Amino acid sequence: MIPIRDTIRSRTTPVVTIALIAVNAFVFLQELKLGPDLDRVVEVFGFIPARFVSWVDLGGSPLDPWRFLPLLSSMFLHGGWAHIAGNMLYLWVFGDNVEDSFGHLRFLLFYLLSGAIAALTLALFSPSSTVPTVGASGAIAGVLGAYFVMFPRSRIVTLVPLFFIPWFVQIPALVYLGFWFLMQLLNGSLELSARAGLAGGVAWWAHAGGFVAGIVLSVPFRNRGSRSRSPAWLA
Q: Which residues pair with 5 in a beta bridge?
A: 157
Look up residue 163 and give its DSSP letter. T
φ and ψ at residue 84, rounded to 5 degrees: -70, -35
Which residue is catalytic, options 101, 126, 137, 218? 137
H helices, E strands: number in the chain: 9, 3
Cβ burial of 26 (10 Å; 0-12, 13-18, 19+) is exposed
Residues for the chain: how many in total? 235
Q: Is 137 a catalytic residue?
A: yes
Q: How far is CA 86 from CA 40, 91, 93, in A?
A: 24, 9, 11
Are 207 and 135 within 8 A, CB to CB? no
Distance from C-alpha of 204 to C-alpha of 186, rounded to nearest angstrom: 9
The edge-to-edge listing of strands for the beta sheet with 165-172 is: 2-6, 155-162, 165-172
Kindly write down the DSSP assignment for every residue of 211-234, as one continuous string.
Answer: HHHHHHHHHHHSPTT-GGGSGGGG
Name the amino acid, one letter, at 145: G
Which residue is catalytic, options 74, 114, 207, 228? 207
User: Looking at the annotation, which residues are catalytic?
Assistant: 137, 207
